[in-house]
C-alpha cells in the first residue's frame, strides 16, 4: 500500500533543481544556445510531463509499487536500481565540485553519516528541510542576478548562430526516476502537480543558458564550462562570490543525496516488502 503521507512536490523538485544546476555547471561551451534550449527544450519537457502523467495513472490503476504482487515487486526493483544509479551520480557530481572548487574530499567522509541519518529520516523532515533550502536557493539566485545584472547585454543574444537549430544538437533533457515514481513519492492527491516537474528542470536549464549567453555571449570553446557564469559575478568591491554560490548549490546537492536515500528506503520497504520486524518484549510485569 502506497503511503498517503509522502514528500511534497517542492521537496522532490528541489532535488531535481540541484541536479539540473550541476548539469549546467558542467555544460561545455558551444554545445547549445539559449534559442535552441528554449525552442527545442519546451516540447521535450511537455513530452516528459505527459509521459509522467500517463505512467502515474497506470501505476495507480494497477498498484505498480505494491509488494503484494510480483509486478509491483519487479517495478520496485527496477526503480531501486534507477534511484541507486542517480544516487551514485549525484555523489560523484558533488565530490567533483568539492574537489575542483575547494580541493576537498570531505564529502567522502561525510557520506556514511548521511546514509545512516537519511535511512532513519521521516518524510516530514525532508519536507521541512526543503522549505528552508528553497529560501537559501532564492537568496543565492537573487544575489547572482544582482551581481550579473550590469554585465548582461541583450545584443549578445543576436550573434552569429548556426544555420539550423539542430546544428548544436538537442538540449540535454535527462530522464529522472522522480518523474515516474510520483505515486510512491508524492503526498496523496499531488501526483498531477508532480507531473509538471519536467518544466521545473526546463525552466532552470533555459534560464541558466540565457543568463550565460547574456553575460558571456555564445561560448564556443569547449575549454569553458557553465561554471564561468558564477565566476563572472561582481558587485562593487566584491568581484568573486562564486565559492559562496557553489556552497549554496552543495547544500541542495546534499539534500538530494539524503532524499534519494529516503527513496531507496521507501522502495525497499513499500515496494519490495522488506519492512523492519518489530519484536515484543517478553516477560511478565
Distance of CA 182 to the CA centre of its chain: 15
Residue 283: per-residue pLDDT:
41
% of the chain with per-residue pLDDT over 70:
83
101 domain-assigned: yes
Residue 159: per-residue pLDDT:
63
% of the chain with per-residue pLDDT over 90:
49
Domain that holds residue 45: 9-159+175-271
Domain count, the chain: 1
2 domain-assigned: no
225 domain-assigned: yes
Q: What is the mean pLDDT of the chain?
A: 84
279 domain-assigned: no
282 domain-assigned: no
281 domain-assigned: no
Q: Is the pLDDT of residue 235 over 80?
A: no
278 domain-assigned: no
283 domain-assigned: no
| Per-residue three-class SS string for 37-102 | HHHHHHHHHHHHHHHHHHHHHHHHHHCCCCCCCHHHHHHHHHHHHHHHHHHHHHHHHHHHHHHHHH
- 190-227 pLDDT, tens digit per residue, is 999 999 999 999 999 999 888 888 887 776 556 667 77
- 157-174 pLDDT, tens digit per residue, is 776 655 455 555 556 678
Distance of CA 107 to the CA centre of its chain: 18
Q: Is the pLDDT of residue 82 over 50?
A: yes
User: Which region holds residue 278: left if phi is over 0, alpha if psi is between -120 and 50, else beta?
Assistant: beta
Residue 178: per-residue pLDDT:
97
Q: DSSP assignment of the chain, as one string? A: ---SS-B-HHHHHHHHHHHHHHHHHTPBTTS--HHHHHHHHHHHHHHHHHHHHHHHHHHHHHTTT-TTSHHHHHHHHHHHHHHHHHHHHHHHHHHHHHHHHH---HHHHHHHHHHHHHHH--HHHHHHHHHHHHHHHHHHHHHHHHHHGGG--GGGGGS---SSGGGG--------GGGT-HHHHBPTT-HHHHTTHHHHHHHHHHHHHHHHHHHH-----TT-BTTHHHHT--BTTB---HHHHHHHHHHHHHHHHHHHHHHHHHIIIIIS--PPPPPPPPS--
Overall pTM > 0.75: yes
Amino acid at each position: 500500500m502506497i503511503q498517503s503521507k509522502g514528500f511534497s512536490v517542492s521537496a522532490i523538485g528541489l532535488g531535481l533543481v540541484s541536479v539540473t544546476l550541476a548539469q549546467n555547471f558542467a555544460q561545455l561551451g558551444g554545445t547549445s544556445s539559449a534559442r535552441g534550449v528554449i525552442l527545442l527544450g519546451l516540447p521535450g519537457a511537455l513530452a516528459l510531463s505527459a509521459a509522467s502523467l500517463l505512467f502515474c495513472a497506470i501505476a495507480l490503476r494497477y498498484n505498480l509499487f505494491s509488494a503484494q504482487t510480483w509486478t509491483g515487486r519487479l517495478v520496485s526493483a527496477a526503480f531501486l536500481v534507477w534511484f541507486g544509479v542517480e544516487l551514485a551520480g549525484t555523489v560523484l557530481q558533488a565530490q567533483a565540485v568539492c574537489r575542483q572548487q575547494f580541493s576537498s574530499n570531505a564529502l567522502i567522509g561525510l557520506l556514511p553519516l548521511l546514509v545512516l541519518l537519511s535511512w532513519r529520516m521521516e518524510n516530514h523532515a525532508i519536507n521541512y528541510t526543503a522549505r528552508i533550502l528553497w529560501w537559501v536557493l532564492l537568496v543565492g539566485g537573487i544575489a547572482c542576478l544582482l551581481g550579473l545584472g550590469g554585465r548582461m547585454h541583450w545584443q549578445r543574444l543576436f550573434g552569429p548562430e548556426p544555420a539550423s537549430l539542430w546544428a548544436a544538437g538537442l538540449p540535454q533533457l535527462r530522464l529522472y526516476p522522480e518523474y515516474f515514481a510520483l505515486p510512491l513519492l508524492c503526498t496523496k492527491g499531488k501526483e498531477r502537480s508532480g507531473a509538471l516537474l519536467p518544466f521545473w528542470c526546463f525552466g532552470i536549464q533555459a534560464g541558466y543558458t540565457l543568463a550565460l549567453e547574456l553575460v558571456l555571449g555564445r561560448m564556443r570553446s569547449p575549454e569553458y564550462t557553465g561554471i564561468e557564469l558564477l565566476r563572472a559575478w561582481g558587485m562593487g568591491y566584491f568581484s568573486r562570490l562564486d565559492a559562496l554560490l557553489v556552497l549554496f548549490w552543495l547544500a541542495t546537492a546534499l539534500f538530494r543525496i539524503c532524499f534519494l536515500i529516503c527513496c531507496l528506503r521507501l522502495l525497499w520497504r513499500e515496494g519490495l516488502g522488506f519492512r523492519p520486524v518489530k519484536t515484543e518484549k517478553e516477560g511478565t510485569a
